[in-house]
Structure 1
Amino acid sequence: MQVPNEYGYVLLVASGSFLVNVLHFFLSANARRASGLKYPIPYATEEQAAKDPKAYTFNCAQRAHGNFVESQTPFLGTLLISGLHWPNAAAALGATWVAARAAYAYGYATRGPQGRLAGFYTSSIADLALKGMALWASAQFAMGASA
């Protein structure tokens, strides 16, 4: 198996996803500071969030970050696998996912659950396409087809 020359684009996009995690860190840290909730409290209680909009915003930022952490590893797997067969398409879809997840993070942390929807839908479409490509690329490699 040979790594395509354009695979660097795939790695660049993968590295870009790490910056989205940094964005989440800042959004959560700012929301924590504003809410007054101290470490190690991971979330405001339902009662706190109902009484204090800043505690609710903190919960939104934390949930957005948790969702990102849950989805980044599968994204990276599908990106890296599909990029072995179609590096340019994988990089383009991956860049779409990264940008949409940044929009998701910012929207959720600043406008609540409704603010995440545009980023959610866009990233979901890119993610589904990458999953299909990864499955197809894996089957091609398993059957002995070259990139």
Structure 2
Amino acid sequence: MATIEVPREYGYVVLTAISTVFLGVWHGLRVGTYRKAASIPYPYEYASYEQVSTAPPAKQHAMYLFNCAQRAHQNYNENHPSALAMILIAGIRYPLSTTALGVIWAVNRTIYAVGYTNAEEQGARKGGKGRYRGVGWYVGHIGLAGLCIKTGIDMVLS
């Protein structure tokens, strides 16, 4: 039987993990703001192609930005469970490295979300290209996966 000893620095890991939960709340509030501006009622997740194409130009833009904000939120929701699990697992053995990678992940998820909606407002090409500004979240995600693998190997070999 293996005994897991939690290092004192694990508190940083816990704080990093909970910050990602608050980031998810921020995403939801952000989507709500864009939803209201686009007049998209619940329970509709996105403005449909038909809604956008038949709306007046100002409303089209609001619907487009809502869809961008919603997609950023969905992408966050798709990746958050694995990131959260990796933060909590890798932090057992490598708390400071895990914290650093978790912060990289969270900061870049924020940049991703803001970029997804702001690039179009600044006249960039359509398609949510501004999200690429936050592509650094992959560094955090892959780094956390590597630390999880290393943690598992360390535990098996100990």
**What's the TM-score once normalised by structure 1's chain length?**
0.92
Is the 1:23–1:102 Cα contact (8 Å) retained in structure 2?
Answer: no
Among 101, 105, 110, the alignment partner of 2:118 is: 110
Superposition deviation, residue 48 in structure 1: 2.5
In structure 1, what is the equivalent of residue 74 of structure 2? 66
3-state SS in 2 of match to 1:85: coil
| Runs of 4+ residues deviating >6 angstroms | none
Superposition deviation, residue 143 in structure 1: 2.1
Percent of counterpart pairs with the same letter? 34
Higher RCO, Cα 8 Å, sep 6+? 1
Among 126, 139, 143, the alignment partner of 2:140 is: 126
Query: Which structure's residues are more often helix, by fraction?
Result: 1
2:19 aligned with 1:16: yes
Superposition deviation, residue 19 in structure 1: 1.5
**What's the TM-score once normalised by structure 2's chain length?**
0.86
Is the 1:108–1:116 Cα contact (8 Å) retained in structure 2?
Answer: yes
Instruction: Say which one has the larger Rg.
Output: 2
1:1-147 paired onto structure 2 within 5 Å? 1-50=4-53, 51=55, 52-111=60-119, 113-119=128-134, 121-144=135-158
Root-mean-square deviation over aligned CA pairs: 1.2
- Structure 1 residues 78-98: Cα deviation after superposition (integer angstroms, max 9, x where no partner): 111111111001001101111
Superposition deviation, residue 109 in structure 1: 3.0
Point out where structure 1 has 5 or more consecutive residues left out of the alignment.
Answer: none
- Tell me which amino acid in the other structure corresponds to 1:3: V
- Work out the CA distance in 2 between the residues paired with 1:110 and 1:39: 24
Superposition deviation, residue 111 in structure 1: 2.8
- Structure 1 residues 100-130: Cα deviation after superposition (integer angstroms, max 9, x where no partner): 11111111133351111121x2100111011
In structure 1, what is the equivalent of residue 124 of structure 2? none
Aligned length: 143
